Amino acid sequence: MARKELAKAYEPWDVEEKWETHWEENKTFTPDPEDEGDAYSIVIPPPNVTGVLHMGHALNLTLQDILCRFNRQQGKNVLWVPGTDHAGIATQNVVERQLKEEGLTRDDLGREKFIERVWDWKKEKGDHILSQIRRMGASVDWTRECFTFDDQRAKAVRKVFVELFEQGLIYKGDYIINWCNRCHTALADDEVEHEAKPGALHHIKYSLSDGSGDLIVATTRPETMLADTAIAVNPEDDRFNHLIGKTAILPLVGKELPIIGDTYVDIEFGTGCLKVTPAHDMNDWELGRKHDLEVISILDEAGIVNENAPEKYQGLTVKEARKAVIADLEAEGRMLEIADHDHSVGVCYRCKSTIEPHVSTQWFVSMKPLAEKARAAVPSETQIYPEHWTKTYYNWLDEIRDWCISRQIWWGHRIPAWTCEDCGELIVAMDDPTQCTKCGSAKLIRDEDVLDTWFSSALWPFSTLGWPDDTKELEKYYPTSCLVTGFDILFFWVARMMMMGLQFKEQVPFNHVYIHALVRDEMGKKMSKSTGNVIDPLDMIQKYGADALRFTLTSFAAMGRDIKLSEQRIEGYKHFMNKIWNATRFAMMNLPDEIPAVDVTEAEGLANKWILHRLEEVKKTIAEATGEYKFNEIAQTLYKFIWSEFCDWYLEMVKPALYGEDEAQKAATQKVLWTVLSETMIMLHPVTPFITQEIWTSLPRPAGDDRSDDIATLLFPEMREQCLNKDVVKEMELFMGVVSGTRNIRTELLIEPAKKLDLLIKTVNDEDKAVLEANVNLIQSLARVDNVTIGADVEAPKASGAAVIQGHELAVPLEGVVDFESELARLDKNLKKLEKTMKGVSGKLSNPGFVNNAPEAVVEKEKGKLAEMEEEKNKLTQLKERLESVMG
């Protein structure tokens, strides 16, 4: 096959767009469930339609793609399903902001028109994230793209809701929930983020009803005291347990509050007396239910004080009410102390507004029966990597509360429940009812709420495969093989998928869960827009190419360790891509149009035998590391093999054979060179798909090699056990040691590269002597020496540069090569000049006036200069000592 010439420089952008389009148009990654091969399947964690690609996405996509491409190479029938999440609250917020700019609200449009408006936005903007996923080179099956709000997913959602309701696992009732005043909707517990914020602990005096004394209550939220319905003390607290059963007067309101005993009260916190406000605190709600307390809510759904509070506070916001209550308590002498107190405050995970506990009628999933199954399945059926996340998974399931699944928004799966106006019957059904199942009335009102977005994404592993229909995909690819995701949605998503998969498919949804770490900045700080340290993956792709970004992320993706990323590292791996490209260009200049039909296992020569041995070791390492999710090991193994071994050693060692007159030796070397290069490209392909594809289509082939031009479809290279040879490794280590030792002598003594040297090697055994003599021409070439003398009786002249390699003594005669007196004089001059400069910088840094008054960046720069000069001084001093040693 005639080869296609590679461009002089690797320009990733045209290459990436070309192959990205090729794979999609040719449906390279669209599997047939009826084809042979064990199934391997992954579902992409569906990004929000409102989202843009960030570095966490880039890492997640890279790791999933490595797994998918590698398993295709193992001959498996691989399906990677793409899709997006409708992101109820986030998407509705985006469209409502657009309406606000037009002077409109969703109520102005009405529900139906508003939903149409959101669909219009989705069609125009909502697939932007998918085009960005394409730029990463993700080998997903685009023909099976899913959306959590499309018809098939809607069918699955409705079936799950109806069946859980019929099983008694979904119910409707009054409960305290997390309420976002900004988004006007309920949130599940795990949709609330907690932030440490400065606050205050208010000590308030409550008088006992019988006039026998006072109780001091400490609270961070004095405004909610208007809804107090009890005071709780610990029955084991001798200070207060005698008061249990008595009552106290609620300040500013005047009503009597029962004093109850409960071990929940922390004797050590605050004053030991706890105000109980069941409508405005999750823990107080539980106390209220336990002691049958009255529930009074003083805030409406907008966070405004309502009619249940004294009239003077009605209509105030939470902040205004707090200020007014504090002022009134101080006026009555009941605010005894206000102490600074940092505490955890819940905020909405979408808009970051402070969350208010709120008693409301909502829909819930009873979680404990589902959680028990999900807990029991780990690790017996599903293994979590890294293993330490298993404990976190257990803790969440053990402490789980019922899941509030209703949301007071319009964009989402509307709850399939109707209430009969005439008899009050609640109807939940797969098909929209036309009349009441109890009284026959046609006056049915549908529930206004929609389902939590996570409800639909909890079904993702099987809904994306066509459930509830019986599909070939479902039969072939469920359960999925591995889920790759971030730890932040271990509860939001992973645990819920486990529950739903076990409940509706009676199988876990995935065999493995790989939790990847965070991508931080180079200092280890979390990336955020406010900090200004965000590295945009799309910018990096534009500057350095997708392959460079992918390789960087893979090389630092050590299990359980966060990634410290910098643009310089990505740029560095762009240089690695260039190294691969240039090495290929060199190889192709020395390969014929048709590769010789030579058996590489019979190739002679140290270089050929050694590189073939290392190739087999790399195959084993790559396969094992991928199976164990040691992604960094994949990248580091390939980097070392390609750059240090293939490029720096092998290509240099085979030049004499490639340029020589021995046609048999040349042909064998060409076949080895082609074999190593082509198989390395296949192994590298899962990490860097674009450059490897471009190179593969440019490589010549042996006669009869009818493999596809599409490297993504090729199998992993087969092992050649007969090429494994530990003896050749020992020989190569000796050879490399001699060459490197000679090069180091030249470098340390500042001998010009062009100056020819002689090399003396005093050997300690005949076996190694034979190896060195057999490769003396290569030693001369790579170490750049003229004459090499090898033997047990070799003696070095007094003025020689020396090194010891595996017991063998190397010597480079320096008489006539180095002018010792001139060199020492030059070193002394440089050292004196350096010491003078260092003295000036040290003086500046020891001056308090400079250190205290100069900008921090200026001071750090001076410290850096001093450190560099100290390092340079050490090098010059060591060189001087080495020269004096040689002279001596």
Q: Would you list which residues are annotated within the binding site?
A: 529
Binding-site residue positions for ATP = 529
CB 103 within 8 A of CB 55: no
Helix-strand-coil split of the chain, %, nearest 5: 45, 20, 35
- What's 589-649 look like in SS3? HCCCCEECCCCHHHCCCHHHHHHHHHHHHHHHHHHHHHHCCCHHHHHHHHHHHHHHHHHHH
Q: Residue 48: which residues within 8 A CB-CB, separation 6 or more? A: 84, 85, 87, 90, 91, 129
Task: Characterise 339 by phi-psi region: left (phi > 0), alpha (psi -120 to 50), beta (else).
Answer: beta
The token pair at 331 is: 């006026």
CB 500 within 8 A of CB 160: yes
The token pair at 464 is: 């994306």
How many angstroms separate the CA atoms of 18 and 24, rounded?
Answer: 10
At residue 659, what is the residue type?
Answer: Y
Residues in the chain: 888
Task: Characterise 52 by phi-psi region: left (phi > 0), alpha (psi -120 to 50), beta (else).
Answer: beta
264 φ/ψ angles, rounded to the nearest 5 degrees: -65, -30
Chain-centroid distance of CA 226 in Å reads 46
Q: Which of 789, 781, 773 is nearest to 657 (CA)?
A: 781
Strand-pair partners of 171 = 364
How far CA 321 is from CA of 113, 120, 312, 718, in Å, comes to: 38, 42, 10, 74
Strand-pair partners of 866 = none
CB 614 within 8 A of CB 731: no
What kind and span of H or E run contains 63? helix 55-73
The token pair at 566 is: 């910098």
Strand, coil or helix: what is 652?
Answer: helix
At residue 287, what is the residue type?
Answer: L
How many angstroms separate the CA atoms of 645 and 736, rounded?
Answer: 11
How many angstroms separate the CA atoms of 411 and 92, rounded?
Answer: 6
CB 177 within 8 A of CB 403: no
Chain-centroid distance of CA 694 in Å reads 28
Residue 195, exposed/middle/buried by CB under 10 A (0-12, 13-18, 19+)? exposed
Torsion of CA 268, 274, 279, 283, to 10 degrees: 30
What kind and span of H or E run contains 247? strand 247-249
CB 276 within 8 A of CB 260: yes
Helices (H) then strands (E): counts for the chain: 30, 33
Strand-pair partners of 595 = 702
